[in-house]
């Protein structure tokens, strides 16, 4: 009887700790622009897998052209050490040129290149920046609805950056309309790829991270963006973990070299 009561007490304690966020926090990983360099891509995947994440996101540009199944088969083969641990949720990049082939290789996206999911009491909204995102577009309306109907902290993942100091800069002019929408919501963090580097920009109380260092050729900054806090020309990936009301983010280069650590307030 005493042993039974002890087990019940342990279960109750674990339940309370889980509800308070002291246990059960999962490691999350984000990387992107794996494209052409299979050796670097493999190193990035193996290092991420060493963190044993419970979920992973890819910020787009999985391969060079995205027009043949052979390209996806190669990507899947290299990604296997990670995909065997957790599901990888991709954002569609401009190098995923065949939309139907992209969707066919990720059936759990249910036929849509923009979607949302919840993990560790965080809502992730993955957008398709290769499709129309302007105000009034179907994707913009979808985004606005997702932001309005949740009380959870929100992380946005997309391929093209809202802001960037890199070669492409603010090429889609997303900064003209998305930040205003984000600032009126629970968006806490925006992560993108496209630029082959790492950059953190801060605007309107929101961190904008650019992580496109998964294997594509590295590129220099071409401008001095007023919102930029750090720009590093290295292959990189992001590891994140929730700790109650905070999201701890560490950005690594190969060899687990720490680029920077930041903390996002999720309240």
pLDDT computed for residue 24 by the predictor: 43
State how far the Cα of 79 lies from the Cα of 82, in Å rounded to an integer.
Answer: 6
> Would you put residue 216 in left (φ > 0), alpha (ψ -120 to 50) or beta?
beta
State how far the Cα of 244 lies from the Cα of 21, in Å rounded to an integer.
Answer: 5
Pairing of strands 115-119, 246-253: unpaired
Strand partners, 89: 57
pLDDT tens digits for the chain (267 residues)? Answer: 444 444 444 333 333 333 333 334 689 999 999 998 999 999 999 999 999 999 999 999 999 999 999 999 999 999 999 999 999 999 999 999 999 999 999 999 999 999 999 999 999 999 999 999 999 999 999 999 999 999 999 999 999 999 999 988 888 899 999 999 999 999 999 999 999 999 999 999 999 999 999 999 999 999 999 999 999 999 999 999 999 999 999 999 999 999 999 999 999
The HSE-up count of residue 180 (CA atoms within 13 Å, CB side) is 8
Q: Which of 139, 183, 164, 149 is closest to 228 using CA atoms?
A: 164
Task: For domain 25-265, give the CATH number.
Answer: 3.60.21.10
Contact 47, 210 (CB under 8 A): no
Contact 57, 29 (CB under 8 A): yes
Q: What is the pTM of this model?
A: 0.89
pLDDT computed for residue 169 by the predictor: 81
**Token pair listed for 115:** 């979607």
């Amino acid at each position: 009887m005493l042993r039974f009561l002890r087990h019940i007490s342990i279960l109750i304690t674990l339940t309370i700790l889980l509800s308070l966020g002291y246990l059960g926090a999962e490691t999350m990983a984000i990387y992107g622009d794996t494209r052409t360099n299979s050796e670097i891509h493999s190193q990035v995947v193996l290092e991420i897998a060493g963190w044993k994440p419970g979920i992973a996101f890819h910020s787009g540009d999985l391969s060079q052209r995205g027009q043949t199944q052979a390209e996806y088969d190669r990507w899947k083969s290299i990604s296997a050490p990670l995909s065997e641990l957790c599901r990888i949720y991709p954002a569609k990049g401009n190098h995923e040129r065949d939309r139907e082939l992209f969707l066919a290789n990720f059936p759990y996206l249910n036929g849509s290149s923009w979607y949302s999911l919840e993990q560790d009491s965080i809502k992730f909204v993955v957008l398709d920046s290769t499709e129309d995102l302007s105000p009034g577009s179907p994707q913009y309306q979808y985004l606005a609805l997702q932001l309005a109907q949740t009380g959870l902290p929100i992380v946005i993942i997309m391929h093209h950056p809202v802001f960037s100091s890199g070669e492409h800069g603010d090429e889609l002019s997303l900064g003209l309309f998305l930040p205003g929408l984000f600032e009126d919501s629970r968006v806490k963090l925006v992560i993108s790829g496209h630029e082959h580097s790492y950059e953190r920009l801060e605007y309107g109380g929101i961190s904008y991270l650019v992580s496109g260092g998964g294997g594509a050729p590295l590129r220099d900054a071409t401008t001095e963006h007023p919102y930029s806090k750090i720009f590093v020309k290295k292959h990189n990936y992001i590891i994140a973990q929730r700790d109650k009301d905070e999201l701890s983010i560490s950005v690594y280069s190969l060899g687990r070299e720490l680029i920077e650590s930041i903390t996002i307030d999720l309240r």
